Amino acid sequence: MVEPSKGSTRDAVRWGLLLAAIAVSGYRLPRVFRNFEEWRASLAVDPSAAALYRTTFMVEAVGITVVVAVGVGIFYLLRPRATKPT
């Protein structure tokens, strides 16, 4: 019977969290594009609506950035430790 390697659970968690971060970001991305388009379209017509779309766009964009940064950070922190040559 084959023994699983010591890092298999850590690698699974590591890749799973990165995949989850990308999935959450991908889910939010269409809303960001839609809010950006609505913001640019309503600048001349209704400035108060444009401000709302801009705020929503900024919040969504920052949310995506934070999720990806945390996912990549955890992915980096859980990387396999380098073994010292003996």
Q: What is the model's pLDDT at position 23?
A: 94
Closest CA to 18 of 63, 74, 64: 74
Tell whether 23 is covered by a domain. Answer: no
Q: State pLDDT tens for residues 36-80.
A: 999 999 988 888 889 999 999 999 999 999 999 999 999 999 887
Q: How many independent structural domains does the chain possess?
A: 1
Categorize the per-residue pLDDT at 4 as very low, low, confident or very high, splitting at 50, 70 and 90.
Answer: low
Residue 62 located in a structural domain: yes
Distances (CA, A) of 43 to 18, 29, 34, 49: 37, 21, 14, 8
20 within a domain of the structure (yes/no): no
Task: Residue 42: give the domain boundaries.
Answer: 30-78
